Amino acid sequence: MKSGRVVLLLLLCWNVANFAVIAAAPQTCPANLQGQCGESEEWKGEFFPGIPKIKYEGPNSKNHLAFKWYNAEEVILGKKMKDWMRFSVAFWHTFRGTGGDPFGGPTKFWPWEDGTNSVAMAKRRMRANFEFLNKIGVDYWCFHDRDIAPEGDTLKESNEYLDEVVALAKELQGSKIKPLWGTAQLFVQPRYMHGAATSSELGVYAYAAAQVKKAMDVTNYLGGENYVFWGGREGYQTLLNTDMERELNHLASFFHSAVAYKKKIGFNGTLLIEPKPQEPTKHQYDWDAATAANFLRKYGLLGEFKLNIECNHATLSGHSCHHELETARINGLLGNIDANTGDPQVGWDTDQFLTDISEATMVMLSVIRNGGIAPGGFNFDAKLRRESTDVEDIFIAHIVGMDTLARGLRSAAKLVEEGSLTELVRKRYESFDSEIGKKIEAGDADLEFLEKKALEWGEPKVPSAKQELAEMLFQSAL
């Protein structure tokens, strides 16, 4: 009996000492699925203690937690790599993505999550977000209002929750980090099942306007450089019950109201429309870059908006990302790029990290021709695969995405500096460099004049387009 008491006493002393050591240790949120975070909303521990600040180590590095191609301070074509890229982390995919899909529930249970959507949990996620930004070396982040703060029972309560979380974000940002863009989530809540700005219900239209007003306020308060409109439900499932003309008119009125409010509050950021052809609607009104440009032109909104081109949306609309970027660029509308890609074997928006060097090079050719993309940038609107469940996978995915675009920039710069592809394109159109060609391009050649020249010249000689040579020159730069 006495020996039993001695053992019990020793166990109690060991527990007291153990708790003393734990209490004295710095708070951390272990980067593994067995770790548990404290319940306090003021949790200030380290969320990624086993992961260092990501550094550039060069192409020969075998360290999967290092950049091989992205060297932020390196100058390419007269501009630092970080200034060409202006990388941004998407809060919704990175810190709200669960791995769930229509056929299965969540697979990601990050150690800092407590299973709730409380304000306390929202603050904890925000702290994790800024630790990640600092460790990955990215100065921008993007958000939807309802991603960063929970929705309340009333609009007033939702705004109060948002204000509380945004106040913390402002504190954590410091002077270096800011949103690349903010936006309002107008597609998840059931009230938006018929759309937001294109809803058949006046009350929904007004609610959406109030939500956008608040989202613009907080984006401005946080120093955001752009504000995005993605109309996931601004479209239709069937025209049988849809007044498309009226819905488009309502959407234009909504955008004009946003422009007016932007000017009223002194928001100097760019307003962006993000085209997408479908999903979740059968037809979305801003189908692609050309459709969105025509909408802006028709409704007198050119000069007030630019486009946020997402590569996966481009392929869903039947285009390459390069096509959409060039369409936006030549119309003076290229404002931002959501950097992701889709799977060619899958017909929906898979939001994968871009890893194709050829695609990245074509993307960067458009950015170089545009003279850069500021005040826009590259937002990683991309998510881990359902089967990727380690915390370090968040870092690995962003590293490979950043390295891929950095390789694309290097390859595009090589093409520009070497000049052979540029010269091939110039020579293809050199007949228009003649006096008559210049007259045509100036709009000074009428049909009678051109008929006279056609009769004078006879059958034209048509040279080779040299497509295979163009592809050879392109591939040689990769």
Confidence of residue 346 (pLDDT cuts 50, 70, 90): confident
How high does pLDDT run on average in the chain?
92
Report pLDDT digits (tens) over 281-312: 999 999 999 999 999 999 999 999 999 999 99
* Catalytic annotation present for 283: no
Cis peptide before 49 (omega within 30 of 0): no
pLDDT tops 50 at residue 354: yes
Mean pLDDT value across residues 315-342: 97
Mean pLDDT value across residues 250-273: 98
Least confident of 19-23, 125-129, 303-307: 19-23
Question: Which amino acid, 411?
Answer: S
Element spanning 128, H or E: helix 119-136
Give me the pLDDT at residue 473, please. Answer: 98
Give me the pLDDT at residue 176, please. Answer: 93
Q: Is 248 exposed, middle or buried (0-12, 13-18, 19+ CB in 10 A)?
A: middle
Question: Which amino acid, 44?
Answer: K
Give me the pLDDT at residue 441, please. Answer: 97
- In this structure, the strands spanning 87-90 and 305-310 are unpaired
Give me the pLDDT at residue 347, please. Answer: 82
Report pLDDT digits (tens) over 450-471: 999 999 999 999 999 999 999 9
What is the rounded distance in angstroms from the CA atom of residue 29 to the CA atom of residue 97? 19
Position with higher pLDDT, 35 vs 53: 53
DSSP label of 27: P
Selecting among 144, 250, 322, 398, the annotated active-site residue is: 144
Give me the pLDDT at residue 344, please. Answer: 86
Give me the pLDDT at residue 42, please. Answer: 62
Token output for 256: 């004009």
What is the rounded distance in angstroms from the CA atom of residue 416 to the CA atom of residue 17? 66
